[in-house]
Structure 1
């Protein structure tokens, strides 16, 4: 039976179509079937149920990041619903902007064991190195021009499967862990269309989906 996944993709700075294309490329590489249903951030809390095997979030918390009064979609109630979904056995992929601007929502960042801190304004060549001791060890390390995410992460060393490095420094770029009866995977790349469709990256994304 195909996995039933709910995907929430796209925000002000991250185009939904690019994320969909990247997700399709990853799914096409997988042996196990996955069915994707799409929703918006505003629908996510009401859509959460045990009919989903997992959720893919590629959207930041800010709804209107360039306005003077910035609104966010995730409050503590939504975060508690998400945490409950995962604790009961659901899976959660926090992908790129799915880590961004959630630092004030402790329930969510505690579940993720991390959150986005910042990225340099200028995109640089970022090297993503796979940990050879991890479940992702068969994959290749790769380099893409990217928005280099620097994150705060409390994951244990054995939970980290990928690191990133550029002229701007080094960071953790991928980690996964159990949360209650469920599973959480966090993945920081990628921003640009070139990076999102890079074959080496889509193989990592496929491996992350396989873990859900």
Structure 2
């Protein structure tokens, strides 16, 4: 399955998702990359069954101009409602509090995080999107979330000394599917086998890999 990855912002360099997604190529995923949002277009996005957004609202790491305009928001909503899959990981939830169309599509956005600390990532037992995963604890940014009115089905939580937060949820939007995963500031989190399973499951579900469409 071909996946378009949007990454690279001031706080989250592209090298992290590039290295973090590399092992998943063995599972049948082909990743294509946009690091500068100026290269994005609705037409290019439409060529992919799934998009992975792990980029805050910066054009690039060196250009902090917001890229999520009302027209871009509308294009993302149309893509998903038309049958596309959208997986948002970590920084793809940050910087979008004032983009109402995208915010509703995502089901929740980043509000704040304390200093990095040990964070326990806990999948819901027996949930299909948690298959092959298990609880684990690593140092990460513990995202505090501002959830919308219709976040979808929560299948993952994170817990630290600062409390417990929703950390993974899935929702349908029109004919498409959306999954959000909040962990992942550090490469060690991306590469943990339990998190690799979550990402792979989410991409398969969003992109309908193996279910005939």
Q: TM class, shorter-chain normalised? A: 0.7 to 0.9
Using a 3 Å threshold, how does the CA distance of structure 1 residues 27 and 176 change in structure 2: closer, same or farther?
farther
Shift of 1:49: 4.4
Q: Does 1:36 align with 2:44?
A: no
The match for 2:50 is 54
Q: Distance in 1 between matches of 2:73 and 2:151?
A: 26
**In the alignment, is the contact (CA less than 8 A) between 1:155 and 1:175 conserved in 2?**
no
Runs of at least 5 residues in structure 1 that lack an aligned partner in the other structure: none
- Consecutive unaligned residues of structure 2, counting only runs of 5 or more, are 207-213
Instruction: Please point out which of 180, 184, 188 is paired with 1:190.
Output: 184
| RMSD of aligned residue pairs (Cα, Å) | 2.2
Task: Give a deviation string over 1:37-62, Cα, whole Å, max 9, x none.
Answer: 11232222344443210111111003
Deviations 1:138-157 (A, max 9, x none): 32111110011111123768
After TM superposition, give the deviation of residue 65 of structure 1 in Å.
9.0
> Higher mean Cα deviation, 81-90 or 43-52?
43-52
Question: 2:209 matched to which residue of 1?
Answer: none
Quickly say closer, same or farther: Cα 1:15–1:177, change in 2 above 3 A: same
Rounded Cα–Cα distance in structure 2 between residues aligned with 1:116 and 1:180? 24
Question: TM-score, normalised to structure 1's length?
Answer: 0.88
CA distance 1:157–1:9, shift in 2 (3 Å) = closer
Q: Is 1:211 matched with 2:209? A: no
* One of 109, 116, 126 as aligned partner of 2:110: 116
Is 1:126 aligned to residue 135 of structure 2? Answer: no
Q: Which residue of 1 aligns with 2:9?
A: 11
How far off is 1:18 after superposition?
A: 1.5
What secondary structure, in the 3-state scheme, does the structure 1 residue paired with 2:40 have?
A: helix
